[in-house]
Structure 1
Amino acid sequence: MKVPTLENHRVKLSLLDLSNYKHLSDIAQQPNLVQYSPSKIDTPEDLKEYVQTAVDDYYHNTAIPFIVFDKQANAYAGCTRFGFINWQNKVMHIGWTWIGNGFQGTGLNTHMKFLMLQYAFEILEFDKVEFRVDERNIRSRKAVEKLGATLEGILRKDILLLDGFKRSSCCYGMLKEEWPTIKTTVFEGF
């Protein structure tokens, strides 16, 4: 699968792999970036293993991981990914997103998600995009809701976190037929 670079005036999303992930080493060490996730990224070894898993999923055609470059800041900001790609049913998840503290709240994430949703619905012609967010992560839940995704339900105690806590995941979805309205209302001016 050939992955294009997704890009606009603010952000550039390129394929994340073992040749470029080291740009994220300093960011990955920032506290609480993945506190609601079962992932560990704060050591060089953990970050490499995290990226290797993403690369493996890419080669199995079930994920497309991206490294995020913020053009406004002229710096690498973090990563994000399409995952659990179901080509037959035309459904995928967007997630595994973490960006450095200095990039949060700057509008970067909205630009990232616009490019990803546009690619999923308009290029790949998928029928649905899903987001899974820890029930306690109010900031991420509000961000997904702001994108126009609909809360479809909560999976209770479905993911074991590194500290032994069993989180519940809010399941959000966006349908292909909703995308044109969301694109013109939520992402007006992109």
Structure 2
Amino acid sequence: MNIPTLENKRVKLTPLNLENYTHLTEIGQQENLVQYSPSKVETPEDLKQYVQTALDWQINKTAMPFIIFDKKANTYAGTSRYMNINWHNSVLEIGATWIGREFQGTGLNMNIKFLMLQYAFETLKFDKVEFRVDERNIPSRKAVEKIGGILEGVLRKNTLMLDGFRRNTCCYGILKEEWDGIKNDVFAEYS
């Protein structure tokens, strides 16, 4: 499966692979960076396994992982991916997104989400984009709501976390017919 490069003036998303993932090693070591994720990225070995899992999903055509380059800071900032891609039903999820703390609140994530939503709806022609967020992760929930995600429900105790806690997962969605309004209202400065 061919993974595109998505780019605007602020950010460049290129395919994440076993050659470039090491750019994320220091970011992955930031304390509690992925505390609401069932994944481990803190050590070089954990990060490599995390990337390998994404690449395995890519081979199965259920994921497209990206490495994020912040053009303003001129450095790598994190990762995101299309995942749980359901080609038959024309639905995918944007997830596994994490960026270093120094990039949070800078507008970088808005640029990332704009590019990914635009490609999902306008190029891939998908009917729906979903986001799944730990119920306790209020900043991420607010970020998804800010970009037009509608809370569709909460899956109770559906994900086992690394510490043994079973989290509740908030499911958000954006429909293709909502995209033009969101693009014009929320992402006008990114278009």
For the criterion TM > 0.5, the same-fold answer is: yes
Partner of 2:18: 18
Listed as ranges, the matches of 1:46-65 within 5 Å are: 46-65=46-65
Unaligned segments of structure 2, at least 5 residues: none
What SS is found at the alignment partner of 2:188?
Answer: coil
Partner of 1:4: 4
TM-score scaled by structure 2?
A: 0.99
| Alpha-carbon separation, structure 2, partners of 1:164 and 1:4 | 36
What SS is found at the alignment partner of 1:33?
Answer: coil
Partner of 2:93: 93
Partner of 1:70: 70
Partner of 2:140: 140
Fraction of identical pairs, as percent: 68
Cα offset for 1:4?
1.4
Cα offset for 1:32?
1.1
Cα offset for 1:45?
0.4
What SS is found at the alignment partner of 1:24?
Answer: helix
| Alpha-carbon separation, structure 2, partners of 1:55 and 1:189 | 33
Partner of 1:106: 106
Q: Which runs of 4+ in 1 moved over 6 A?
A: none
What SS is found at the alignment partner of 1:155?
Answer: strand
Cα offset for 1:49?
0.1
What SS is found at the alignment partner of 1:144?
Answer: helix
| Alpha-carbon separation, structure 1, partners of 2:128 and 2:4 | 20
Equivalent position amino acid for 2:136 in 1: R
| Alpha-carbon separation, structure 2, partners of 1:32 and 1:127 | 34
| Alpha-carbon separation, structure 2, partners of 1:177 and 1:148 | 12
Cα offset for 1:33?
1.0
Cα offset for 1:116?
0.2
Unaligned segments of structure 1, at least 5 residues: none
Equivalent position amino acid for 1:13 in 2: L
Partner of 2:35: 35
| Alpha-carbon separation, structure 2, partners of 1:169 and 1:51 | 23
| Alpha-carbon separation, structure 2, partners of 1:41 and 1:3 | 22
Partner of 1:128: 128
Answering whether residue 150 of structure 2 is matched by residue 150 of structure 1, we say yes
